[in-house]
A and B are shown apart, each in its own frame.
Chain A
């Protein structure tokens, strides 16, 4: 992926990409898996940066990350799978912005989960998911139920349900087994 494409993705997320370029970029995204992953990561970074009450690293940490990006690969001290591919970026302003984002991600990576927690029931179910992922046949069957059901959902509900069905990895579906209170 070239720097130009990266900048286009960044501009798109900032709402600054010219309208005639949006269609071209989206078409490219549909063909390019790396670009799609990058788009997902960047948009999440943006979401995190915009979050009310979001935890951010101090400017000095961002500066150190920026320096690390500019430094030769052998001197890079911050190396996570998420940031390794960013090391060759050249444009200073863009690199600084990404450095700030990386700094924030790094904080998220090392901080305990201190924000408002997910509902206990949800957390509990996710904990169970690791031990009991649905089989492909079960996830397909669940998708069938959801698609059939979604036709009667509200517009917001249907959009949520469809997005869930499109989840990249069906094994991410929550699943648990227990003894029902059947009559």
Chain B
């Protein structure tokens, strides 16, 4: 689709309208909302399902197909664009493969969860209440199913809010809208069909892309225990309240002889990654501020290194985090919480 199409502007407007209208009917019940989130997380990780959905941002709308299969506790998944790019992302038992036919490239990432999906997911714990207002309410039917609406509204400007339409029976999300602090929609996913199945055939989670002759770009990694990661290398001096270091790893990125450091912070809903790569050895410089949908990235140069912050948070947040990163040695004070301006 054309980026300038008014239809795409309409999609952003539609999402915004959904967010604004339904927000008026939500009831405050944080404990119940958290229980629904926990049910949703479990359902997404433990059910076999096949679905079609529309992914909309301010200027574009794409149709996607998702297939999810659980196999011996492993979560296998295939997401494919039906709108012409031919791009696919497949999560196998050990790796995540992103097929980019337009670049004749396959990006390969080792899985971070070492088998069990649930272990790797940030859980919507009790501390979520400190940074978001949670509420749940009854919604109108979607896809013929009764629906509960869960609202997750940020209490500051550093993170986005979410509105989730969950199937009452299974807690599977049938629609989701990401909005900014003012309730304006940034991104929407809306299912047009969703089937829960007992079995899913192997061919359903295999790529349809013939990657013969493609350049396979593999990322190496070495997990580092958080305490060690905190005392060596690099760290941000500013981080929004509630974001805690949940993982750290050294990654060998293509084109670089020196591993890059990857720090991951989470507040239980959103995550922020920081990549620190040595100078220009890692290839072309990333654009300084970029993003797709609700995900934003900001890159800057600090003491001969390219520092990039990436997350499902507003652009200003990743910028603030990236520009606060400093090299450290030995013991260093914890990152200062970001403050309201």
Contact = CB atoms under 8 A, between A and B. Distances in A.
Contacts of A165: 87, 89, 98, 292
A17 B286 CA distance: 45
Interface stretch (A40-48, A58-66, A71-79, A89-97): A40-48
Interface string A118-162: 110111011000001011111011111111111111111101111
Nearest to A49: B14
A84 to B, nearest CB: 15
A30 B122 contact: no
Interface stretch (B26-34, B54-62, B226-234, B329-337): B54-62
A45 B270 CA distance: 31
Given A12-B192, A41-B7, A166-B79, A136 B112 contact: no
Contacts of B266: 152
Place the interface of chain A in its size category. Answer: 35 or more
Given A153-B271, A155-B44, A174-B291, A166 B17 contact: no
A151 B58 contact: no
B208 A30 contact: yes
Place the interface of chain B in its size category. Answer: 35 or more
Interface string B246-277: 11000101000000001010101111010100
A144 B255 CA distance: 13
Contact of B190 (A47, A52, A132, A153): A47
Nearest to B113: A151
A171 B3 CA distance: 9
B224 interface: no
Interchain residue pairs A-B with the least CB separation, the first 9: A164-B292, A168-B85, A163-B55, A115-B13, A149-B273, A116-B16, A52-B21, A180-B300, A166-B81
